[in-house]
Homo-oligomer: A and B are copies of this chain.
Amino acid sequence: MTTDPKPETDIYTRRESEARSYCRSFPVEFAAARNATLTDRDGREYIDFLAGCSSLNYGHNDPDMKAALVNYIASDGITHALDMHTGPKAAFLETFERLILKPRGMDHKVMMTGPTGTNAVEAAMKLARKVTGRETVIAFSNGFHGMTMGALAATGNAGKRGGGGMSLHGVTRMPFEGAIEGVDSLAYITAMLENPSGGIDAPAAFLIEPVQGEGGLNAASAEFLKGIAALAKKHGALLIADDIQSGIGRTGPFFSFEGMGIEPDLIPLAKSLSGYGLPFAALLIRPDLDIWKPAEHNGTFRGNTHAFVTARVALEKFWADDAFQKQTEAKAAVLTERLKRIADLIPGARVKGRGMMQGVDVGSGALAADICARCFAEGLVIETSGAHDEVVKVLAPLTIPQAQFEAGLDIIEAAAQDAVSETTRIAAE
């Protein structure tokens, strides 16, 4: 991360908390955006390979969603309705049921939680504990689930955890697939759980991201996910698939776990759920587990009406048939190929992730940061992830035009080439 280059007296430095972060990597002021193109105050354009950390799977300001939203606002459609019934909510629910749940044989209830991913995760953890009467949620190394105390306990990152200022309870940590070289994580978890003196309490749930985003684009295999699902079933625990970053088409299908042989009990969704970048989150709940009492988990901004409007348009536009999924898969294939080429430039580097959620582990945070900074100088917004920020992560809008996508990839390739050359040059001196 670069430090903020603005003078001490700019409004951000003067008035915004030190907690601010992305603005430090991209120290310009953004003014407008359309699909994969960001425009700053000075009219300079950037290709967006960050996409709101997967909150903009359909790109910025999709024209159909925009039209629907402007129309809704202009007509004095109700903006804030607490969790009362509104037309947009009904339309969203009906569309979600028709286009997402039914075709996938799912009968989940939709819980409108506070409009943040962490809130949906908290609701899932609370419900799993209520349903099972157990406290322990098993979460995974490199998992990222949010910043509020319940979700933070499940988040692996030491810096984030340290922000809690106190001990975090109720979570037992297990290794994600492939986390420890030479260790079969599934076998390890199974053995520890099945040893009555293993010291691991019977879990309320397993909380897993099918593809870990912040943790470094670690993609679980179907075998691993099925193993965890079977273990959960055997031990009376729920399976929570946190599809906040990996869902809503990011890996191809609507849910990242489709076709992998698992049926999660609880599915927190957020980020791209609204389609338009608006705050919106929901928890999908297997209907027999929906034992909430009215208002038992409530919140002022549950069911953001503006988000209902755009989310419905997004579902109709992109999920009425499988064309969008196929396009994503085609782009993902390009991505894999191009990233392999980039990885080949860097000794020890390797491609990680799945679908349009891939990147290159370049082996060090310093090199990854150098590459990203070079990209930004060339007009590409891109970030790192991983425990050591060692992965250059591509999270382009799924809707990005092919040419622009390739242009962005060209920038990364050139940046990687330059970074490696510079490193070699310096080493040679």
Contact = CB atoms under 8 A, between A and B. Distances in A.
A122 B148 contact: yes
Contacts of A114: 114, 116, 118-119, 147-148
Contact of A165 (B118, B127, B149, B155): B127
B197 A215 contact: yes
Interface string A148-172: 1111010111111111111111111
Contacts of A163: 126, 130, 292-293, 296-297
A56 to B, nearest CB: 6
Contacts of A140: 199
A73 B73 contact: yes
Contacts of A198: 141-142, 156, 158, 173, 179, 387
A255 B131 CA distance: 40
Given A118-B114, A196-B159, A298-B21, A93 B15 contact: yes
Interface in A260-317: 270-271, 276-279, 283, 285, 290-301, 304, 306
Interface residues of A, number: 157
Given A276-B79, A299-B118, A149 B146 contact: no
B197 A118 contact: no
Interface stretch (A33-41, A226-234, A419-427): A33-41
A201 B18 CA distance: 24
A283 B122 contact: no
Interface string A163-196: 1111111111101000111111001100110011
Contacts of A276: 79-80
Interface in A379-405: 386-388
Interface string A204-219: 1000000000011000
A345 to B, nearest CB: 26
A133 B290 CA distance: 23
Given A17-B109, A22-B84, A118-B148, A279 B277 contact: no
A76 B33 contact: yes
A87 B11 CA distance: 11
The complex is assembled from copies of this chain, and their number is 4
A52 B31 contact: no
Contacts of A142: 195, 197-199
Contacts of A278: 79-80, 304, 306
Contact of A196 (B31, B41, B387): B387
Given A11-B93, A115-B115, A295-B21, A77 B31 contact: yes
Nearest to A26: B84
B112 A17 contact: yes
A214 to B, nearest CB: 8
B294 A24 contact: yes
A20 B27 CA distance: 42
Given A164-B126, A198-B156, A19 B279 contact: no
Contacts of A34: 76
Given A11-B94, A32-B75, A197-B142, A165 B130 contact: yes
A69 interface: yes
A19 B292 contact: yes
A135 interface: yes
A76 B53 contact: no
A97 interface: yes
Given A127-B165, A180-B191, 6 more contacts: A12-B89, A12-B90, A22-B83, A79-B277, A114-B148, A183-B184
Nearest 4 A-B pairs (CB), nearest first? A80-B277, A129-B165, A149-B150, A156-B199
17 contacts: A14-B97, A15-B94, A17-B110, A17-B283, A17-B285, A18-B109, A19-B297, A20-B294, A21-B295, A24-B294, A30-B85, A33-B79, A114-B116, A119-B148, A142-B197, A148-B150, A149-B151
